[in-house]
Structure 1
């Protein structure tokens, strides 16, 4: 549950979920990072947060502005150590950009495929939509999935996005969401 932003994230089978003061997160498949074995990377990660510090005023604009930040946070330098967990991002390509409905709100998603110096590279996706608690503010859900056979299938990004519910939504789903 992400009480700050008023949403529930669905927790797929085999994933771990957590709630925090700044949002909620999901992870699966921890392993030593290919660029720095002292660090732990995950095969798939998702987190929700308030879209703060963005200049854009539309869901599309926020998603387009956020995707580069997401790429750096997911596959660039580690914010805690400054180390390149994947040896650095060597290229990026937009593979998807489209409107999407999230928690009953009209949003937008942007997905990039990244190549990295170490490891298999990955996919990042930023989904932005108005907060169910305050339509004047945006929520961003960031996804980062490795591009390997051991990582979750990209269809999980779509399933998680489709499964996001507003905190004020219908009951009967508690216990399986974060």
Structure 2
């Protein structure tokens, strides 16, 4: 089953800012909030936003950016206000209910009652996807109610030194959270790789991507599920070239949910070796206490 948490609102019409709705584990509730990507933000630039603990991570790769919410607080519930109507069992504290207007909040991407996602030493947990990513030595891991991320090697972006990029990064999220729709893991991975490359290395911080070479496109088993991975080497206009990878597989806690893991490493002596990326993929497992089967491969 899909774990309780904030997920893209299935009833969103496309008019106005995107929003998320709280799933209590059995049904959609009346609690809604602005999607993290629609919230006002400051600091270091980012591509597609998904809440991950105290930072927002997206399009992880050499061109990834880390970003705090506007106002200095951690991201999460972008619009929250107390409600006079009793919350349904398992509903989150704060957030809006249908028909209510909320103000700026300081949510942190936590689950109901302010509880952090289940974590364990050495792993970053993506609660919505039901997975945990192994944190390599020297890396920073961030858990979240929707999304998890790993980053290392912060440095000034080559095309815009006022912003910060990283030498390597890995980011996970349910496919629906980044609006990736595809029938199979293979279809999704092949569709996502160009988006990943553009988000990671195609912006002003690296300039346009002039060409790419496909290094890998194959089936893979992740957390007990049959997935698919595509890896490119991209040539950038500014700064280092990069390796980008899109990995898609079924969630170990909900076989109907596809999970996307986007990765990107600079082609640089100070960047992690690609063998580290392979180690991370092998170490992905079902989140501790998330239910369902599957484990590290």
- The TM-score normalised by the length of structure 2 is 0.54
Residue of structure 1 in register with 2:234 after alignment? 114
Residue of structure 1 in register with 2:277 after alignment? 157
Alpha-carbon contact 1:45-1:145 (below 8 Å) kept: yes
Alpha-carbon contact 1:93-1:112 (below 8 Å) kept: yes
Q: Distance in 2 between matches of 1:71 and 1:38?
A: 22
Gaps of at least 5 residues in structure 1 are 78-83, 170-178
Deviation string, structure 1 residues 116-173 (Cα, Å, up to 9, x no partner): 011121000000001112111100000010011110001111100000011257xxxx
- 3-state SS of the aligned residue for 1:137? strand
**1:8 positional shift:** 0.6
Superposed, which structure 2 residues align to 1:83-94 within 5 Å? 84-94=204-214
1:44 aligns with 2:165: no
Alpha-carbon contact 2:175-2:181 (below 8 Å) kept: no
| Among candidates 195, 200, 206, match of residue 69 of structure 1 | 195
Residue of structure 2 in register with 1:128 after alignment? 248
Q: Distance in 1 between matches of 2:153 and 2:254?
A: 34
Q: Distance in 2 between matches of 1:137 and 1:76?
A: 28
Residue-pair matches, total: 164
Alpha-carbon contact 1:34-1:87 (below 8 Å) kept: no
Alpha-carbon contact 1:105-1:129 (below 8 Å) kept: yes
Residue of structure 1 in register with 2:258 after alignment? 138
- 3-state SS of the aligned residue for 2:256? coil
Larger Rg belongs to: 2
Deviation string, structure 1 residues 73-124 (Cα, Å, up to 9, x no partner): 11122xxxxxx11122111111101111111111000000001011121000
**1:13 positional shift:** 0.3
- 3-state SS of the aligned residue for 2:126? coil
Higher normalized contact order (CA 8 Å, seq sep 6+, divided by chain length): 1
Q: Distance in 1 between matches of 2:189 and 2:155?
A: 28
Residue of structure 2 in register with 1:30 after alignment? 154
Gaps of at least 5 residues in structure 2 are 1-124, 290-297
Moved over 6 A (4+): none
Alpha-carbon contact 1:23-1:50 (below 8 Å) kept: yes
- 3-state SS of the aligned residue for 2:254? coil
